[in-house]
Structure 1
Amino acid sequence: MKRGITFFALLVVLQCGAQKDVTTSEQTWLGYIQQVRLTEKWGAIADVHFRTVNNWVQGNNLWLLRAGATYFFNDRTQATAGYAHFHYFAGESHPQDARPEHRLYQQILWMNNGPKLRLQNRIRTEERWRQHMGSRGEALPGYNFNWRFRAQWQLLYPLSKRLYAPGTLALMVADEAMLNFGKEVVYNTFDQNRIIAGVQWQTGKASFIQAGYMHIFQQQAAGNKYRQSHVARIFYTHNLDLRRRSETK
């Protein structure tokens, strides 16, 4: 099902690319992700992100904080539920005030690791509450609400005979398709598609940096407006295992 949704989203992207009302931006996304394994079955995850507006380093687009509790079915399959707060700085569509957004999210992530290739799949649902904004870009009481469905896959291929040992590099490609649902979604059931290519540098046994390029094609709420973003994406991930030795045997 995930592959079908991604394929459908890519077809929409190709069709939308023919439209003339497309704005383009160049952004930088920075992220820090911390995952903690507390017991054999339970853990926690938290991440913080910052994004620029345009010309790679110009302006502040948003910052976000996200946290959740994780249940480990096994070492390759996990489910997470949590909360995220987004702070969108005043910008083009809301020039007077910043716009907050509150999200609940639920996801399942599973990995299929071969001798070299590592494939990661993630399915996520989000419940999004976004502040009402007036016609002049000012914040108003109340929130818009919609659901969003996200399907992502990621593939890693090592560039060293030492595979994923500390200090090695791996090629990384990924794709994520997103669909909107809800009574307030009228023209943009297709939300966006993200294609990512880059490298993963294994900085330690339980930490790595992903750096690369991401292309985003997104349909705006009006339905006839689209945005494409060229993104420099740098994420640092650290995994901490606090299980007692007896639990890991």
Structure 2
Amino acid sequence: MFVYLFNRFNIHCVKISFHTCSMRILFLLLFFFPVLVLAQVQPTKNIQRQDLLWVRYQNQLTISPKLLLQTEIDNRMFHSPMKQHHLVMRTQGRYMVAEHLQAGLGITYALQYPQDPRSTSDLVVPELRVQHDITLKQKLGKANLNHRYMLEERFIRKVEEQDLLPGYNFNFRFRYRLQVEVPLVKKETEDLGLVVYDEAMLNFGKTIGKNVFDQNRMYAGVKWGVTEALALELGYLYWFQQRSSGVDFYSREIARLSIYHKVTLKRNDK
């Protein structure tokens, strides 16, 4: 069914404008892919539902017109009961290759707490990731469309029952995110916009067996540019994740608050 619809859209692309065609393809990717994923896992019935709250602070330091350093800390907690779930810290350099093309290279340090908020375990599993990405940007009318392609090299500490072991398990993860930003209100000192995205993640490597599909995230939020240097974003994230067993899944509904802070290094003219 999905292939048939996609082919129909391709045929119509010859007859209609690029803008209209791109919007139709965007609709398919954002809404049909998650539906197909969910349809495939329905027979298993092993789906655990959870509610979480994510709070993120991101700092963007502009070093030059083409180079910036981006640092963030993302605190993720279960909502009921209130308990730590994940702490993620990232630092990456980003380079403007061209007007519509940006490349990034960075490192992530994460601490994974128990996946069950009612667990009495105090096991915390550290993880290191090296990430590489490219982001393509394009305009669709008033909207901004971003394609992000990311490859992560993940080093996850080895665990046996409730104990950390020496060494790390290694695997790759590929991530593709399609994001749309639509301006709603634009003023001289502030602005308001809608942010929608869908991100799919795939695992691969020697340690990956039954969970090649890792997860899918769908998000919608409102971003308020308080000033040129400060923005706040509040949104809803649906996170569907397959566990290593291949038959168990997490279905997570998340309220997310993001704080964006931009700083520009001033250059002294001589």
**TM tier relative to shorter chain:** 0.7 to 0.9
Structure 1's 42 and 194: CA in aligned 2 closer, same or farther, altered over 3 A?
same
After TM superposition, the structure 1 = structure 2 runs for residues 1-249 of structure 1, keeping only pairs within 5 Å, are 10-55=35-80, 58-92=82-116, 95-114=121-140, 116-135=142-161, 137-160=162-185, 162=186, 165-242=188-265, 244=267
Could you list the per-position Cα deviations for residues 124-171 of structure 1 after superposition, in whole angstroms to 9, with x for gaps in the alignment?
Answer: 110111111112x221122111100000011122222x27x5433212
Q: Secondary structure at the match of 1:38?
A: strand
TM-score for both structures, normalised by structure 1:
0.87
Q: Verify the 8 A CA contact 1:88 1:100 in the aligned structure 2.
A: yes
Q: Verify the 8 A CA contact 1:5 1:177 in the aligned structure 2.
A: no
TM-score for both structures, normalised by structure 2:
0.81
Q: Verify the 8 A CA contact 2:109 2:126 in the aligned structure 1.
A: yes
Could you list the per-position Cα deviations for residues 96-139 of structure 1 after superposition, in whole angstroms to 9, with x for gaps in the alignment?
Answer: 4211011100111232235521112211110111111112x221
Offset of 1:95 from its aligned partner?
Answer: 2.4
* Greater Cα shift, 108-117 or 144-153: 108-117
Offset of 1:240 from its aligned partner?
Answer: 2.5
Determine which structure has the larger helix proportion and give its number: 2
Higher relative contact order (CA 8 A, sep 6+): 1
Amino acid of the structure 1 residue aligned with 2:149: I
Distance 2:165 2:29 in 1: 35
Q: Secondary structure at the match of 2:60?
A: strand
Could you list the per-position Cα deviations for residues 21-41 of structure 1 after superposition, in whole angstroms to 9, with x for gaps in the alignment?
Answer: 100100001111111221233
Q: Secondary structure at the match of 2:64?
A: coil
* Greater Cα shift, 106-115 or 211-220: 106-115
Q: Verify the 8 A CA contact 1:66 1:84 in the aligned structure 2.
A: yes
Could you list the per-position Cα deviations for residues 153-193 of structure 1 after superposition, in whole angstroms to 9, with x for gaps in the alignment?
Answer: 11122222x27x54332122110000000010000000000
Q: What residue number does 2:18 align with?
A: none
Amino acid of the structure 2 residue aligned with 1:60: Q
Distance 2:136 2:230 in 1: 18
Distance 1:109 1:71 in 2: 10
Percent identity between the aligned chains? Answer: 31
Q: Secondary structure at the match of 2:244?
A: coil
Count residues in correspondence.
241
Distance 1:46 1:71 in 2: 14
CA RMSD of aligned residues (A): 2.5
Structure 1's 102 and 94: CA in aligned 2 closer, same or farther, altered over 3 A?
farther
Amino acid of the structure 2 residue aligned with 1:189: V
Gaps of 5+ in 1: none
Q: Secondary structure at the match of 1:221?
A: coil
Structure 1's 184 and 126: CA in aligned 2 closer, same or farther, altered over 3 A?
same
Amino acid of the structure 1 residue aligned with 2:93: A
Q: Verify the 8 A CA contact 1:195 1:214 in the aligned structure 2.
A: yes
Q: Secondary structure at the match of 2:148?
A: strand
